[in-house]
Amino acid sequence: MNQEIILTQQEGIATLRVNRPEARNALNWTAQAAFAEAVAQVAADSAVRVLIISGTGDKAFVSGGDLKELSQHPEREAGERLNRVMREALGQLTRLPIPVIAAVNGDAFGGGCEILTACDLRVATRHARFCFAQVRNALCTGWGGTGRLVNLLGQARALDLLLTARIFSAEEAQQMGLVQQVVDEAAGLETAVTALAHSLIQLPQHALAASKQLVYAASQPAVAATNAQETSLFVDLWSQPDHLEALAAFREKRKPVFGKR
């Protein structure tokens, strides 16, 4: 691992930490590749019984792709790469035969929320905020988030969050079922997640793996079809005028002006 993604393991509990606090833990190309590599390492390590995913600091969990870097790559191939690397990594998360816990230490925006949907359990600090912000950048989800979000929350809530791109609190996230537990502070988050991880380790490993496999199998055909369509739409949107305008507006630090039909 490089220093942008830190993977550690202790007593069967692996922790994957996004370590880019200066960029609100946004994932640049290097961090995306390292994230995928870390997931692959966990998949190959039979000693790991639980995986925790979190971010460094208390400001952000993950704020999606790094727009500072991505704004320099409007070409279609960049959209294909962004879609492929993280979509495959998050898909592998759902296939891991171990519980995956998101320790939401701060804001989860855009792709950060997509990462949450690929985790099995989610615990958030009370000050964390959430936003499926993709449409603000003239995009749809690109990392498999739509299919998983619909399965988690249902069609109506998914439409609300994806179409409005509104920011919502940890309390609302808990009320709608996106997170299972909200804690008061960072120290409380670490304590709560560690306790949850240790409780899972005490349970029979093969039964946990079977239960997780069955839950995902129950909706897998629909999600697979949705993901294929999501990939096509995301890549098409990447090189469209509205997204190019969003990238230009980010570089120029102004509000984007999107075209009309």
Domain boundaries, the chain: 1-185+204-261
pLDDT on residue 2: 61
**Averaged over 162-179, what is the pLDDT?**
98
CA distance 199 to 4: 29
Query: What letter does residue 138 receive in the DSSP assignment?
Result: T
pLDDT on residue 261: 55
pLDDT on residue 215: 93
Residue 219 clears pLDDT 90, i.e. is over it = no
**Averaged over 154-182, what is the pLDDT?**
97
Domain 1-185+204-261 has CATH 3.30.930.10: no
- Whole-prediction pTM: 0.93
CA distance 89 to 115: 9
The distance between the two most distant Cα atoms of the chain, rounded to a whole number of Å, is 57
**Averaged over 77-96, what is the pLDDT?**
94
Phi then psi for residue 182, to 5 deg, are -120, 130
Q: Name the percent of the chain lying above pLDDT 90.
A: 84
CA distance 86 to 26: 13
**Averaged over 30-57, what is the pLDDT?**
97
- Per mean pLDDT, which range of 14-28, 92-106, 222-236 is the poorest? 222-236
Q: Which two tokens stand for residue 139?
A: 């995009």
pLDDT on residue 225: 85
Residue 186 clears pLDDT 80, i.e. is over it = no
Q: Which of 49, 84, 65 is nearest to 198 (CA)?
A: 49
Alpha helices in the chain (DSSP H): 29-44, 67-70, 76-95, 111-117, 145-153, 155-164, 170-176, 186-201, 205-217, 220-238, 241-252
228 versus 204: which is more confidently predicted?
204
CA distance 136 to 145: 16
Residue 82 clears pLDDT 90, i.e. is over it = no
pLDDT on residue 224: 80
Residue 243 clears pLDDT 70, i.e. is over it = yes
**Averaged over 173-195, what is the pLDDT?**
94
**What is the DSSP pairing of strand 168-169 with strand 129-131?**
antiparallel
Residue 67 clears pLDDT 70, i.e. is over it = yes
Sheet holding 129-131, edge to edge: 60-62, 107-109, 129-131, 168-169
pLDDT on residue 40: 98
Q: What is the pLDDT of residues 125-165, one digit of tens each?
A: 999 999 999 999 999 999 999 999 999 999 999 999 999 99
Contact 78, 33 (CB under 8 A): no
**Averaged over 109-115, what is the pLDDT?**
97
pLDDT on residue 259: 87
Contact 239, 81 (CB under 8 A): no
Residue 260 clears pLDDT 70, i.e. is over it = no
Contact 162, 134 (CB under 8 A): yes
- Per mean pLDDT, which range of 62-76, 116-130, 191-205 is the poorest? 62-76
Q: What is the pLDDT of residues 6-31, one digit of tens each?
A: 999 999 999 999 999 999 999 999 99
Q: What angle do CA 130, 225, 230 make, to 5 degrees?
A: 45
